[in-house]
Each structure stands twice: as structure tokens, then as C-alpha cells.
Amino acid sequence: MKFDYPILDLQSSLRKPAGLCALAIMAKAPRAGAVKTRLIPPLTPDEAAALNRCFLQDTAMNIADLCASAACEGVVAYTPVGAEFLFKGLLPDSFNLLPQRGDAFGDRLFYAAKDLLAFGYESVCLIDSDSPTLPPAILAAAVAALTRRRDGVVLGPADDGGYYLIGLNHADQHLFTSVEWSTERVLSQTIQRAAELHVPFELLPTWYDIDNATSLVRLCNELVFTPHQAGGEGLKPYSAQRTRDFLSKLVQKRGREQLFSVVSTASTFE
């Protein structure tokens, strides 16, 4: 791991070689009080930021493992600009950074895709930073789908009605407009936008992200209490070793019953 990563600059004459897919993690800089706030409680702001760093490290390693054998490259599309130093040492050496643009979340997704394609990537997958156990087979399927289908959209449905990944070869802003972000309607409305654009779409297997206390319980069960079990549709979850280690230490520190009682209490207020 290194401390400084190249920042993709559209003013530069350098462009990526043809045929590469950018696997871009949409991420906030891991600063206490600014990330994973819906997990406070049961976590403290410092614990939530530490968990976020683990998520980012594990997702980046998952991507880097695939890129060692496939025509893809890892990127972190980050916000806010000026917080690059907070990613020091968290990413594999092969990663690039891309500053996010836009105010609304849909705008940031659109501009991230547009900028990456303009930089020379042939296709783009925008991936959330909240799914550290996402099976490697799903990432590989997304890249393969974009290679096979040059005119469509690939969506990774999350079980809360959103999506953990959107892949595309062309950036159209309409795909990200009139979408009620952070609701259970995100996936269905995105599919509707694709239909309005007459763009075919392909669905990947459903997975989950960790954005509240209930999903944190699920993650603890998957990584700490019943590890190495197959996930949905028989897919093998990513090992997420840094997240696993962090949660194991957290359970040791607080005790399983105490932590789960806090999670249960917090969940009732979601």
C-alpha cells in the first residue's frame, strides 16, 4: 500500500488504454462524524469511521484481486475535494483517485461516469462503499456483461430496493434524474429511466449493503458468528478480512449480547 495515489485529471493529455473497465468506488473521505452516521448508535463516531475505512480497504482489495486477471482498473471517486490525505495507505498501489462533482447524489454518479469515460475507460462500474462482502463473482459478471453488451446498463440490486452497482458504457444524465435516492424505489425508478432511454438492462444477483443497525447485525452474523457460509444464490461472499477483524474485536470488547441489544434498540428507530 502506498500513501499517494494518482488523481485523474481531465486536463491531462494522458488517457487510459482501450478496453479497460473502471471499477469505481463511490466514497466519502473516512472522517469521524461524516461517514456511516446511521450506525451511530450502536457505534461511536470514531468506530463508524474505522468501520468505513475497513469497508473501503476490503472493497478495494476485492477489486484489485479481479483486476489482476481481468481488463479493469480500480478507482475511488471521492468527496470532498481536499480530503485526499484521508485515503493514505488504504488502497492498493494500482488505484487512482477521481474527485466527485455535483451537489445531488444523482449528479455525482453521472459526472463520475462521464469523467471516467472521458478519461479513456471503455466502461464504468460505480460501486457503493457499503458492501464489503460483495462476492467476487458478481464483480466479474459485471465486467463481463459490459464487455459483452456495449449499449446497455448493468445493475446490482440491493435487497433494500436500491443498487450496490451500476455499470454502463455511455453516460446519460437522464438515467440519474427523478430518482428518489435512499429509498426503496431507487432500483425500480432507475429501470424506468433506462426504459425511457430505450436502453436494455441486465440485473446481477441481489446483495446487501450496510447502512443501518439491522444490516450491521447481518454483517456480524456473516463474518464473525457464522463465517464461510455461502451467500444468496450460492455465491461465496468476499472474505472482507479487515472488516471481520474489526468486528471481532468490537464484539470482544463489548460482548455479543450487549452489542446486539444496542443494535436491536437502535433498529427500532430506523
Residue-wise pLDDT for 192-243, tens only, equals 999 999 999 999 999 999 998 889 989 998 998 876 555 556 789 999 999 9
Global pTM reads 0.92
Integer Cα distance of 81 and 111 in angstroms? 14
Between helix 45-67 and helix 136-148 the angle, nearest 10°, is 50
* Residues in Cβ contact with 23 at an 8 Å cutoff, skipping those fewer than 6 apart: 63, 66, 67, 72, 73, 74, 75, 125, 127, 139, 143
Strands 163-168 and 96-99: unpaired
Q: What is the pLDDT of residue 231?
A: 56
The CATH code of the domain at 21-210 is 3.90.550.10
pLDDT over 90 (residue 141): yes
Read off the pLDDT of each residue in 161-187 and give the average, rounded to a whole number: 96
Cα dihedral 208→212→213→219 (10° resolution): 20
Cell numbers placing 72: 479493469
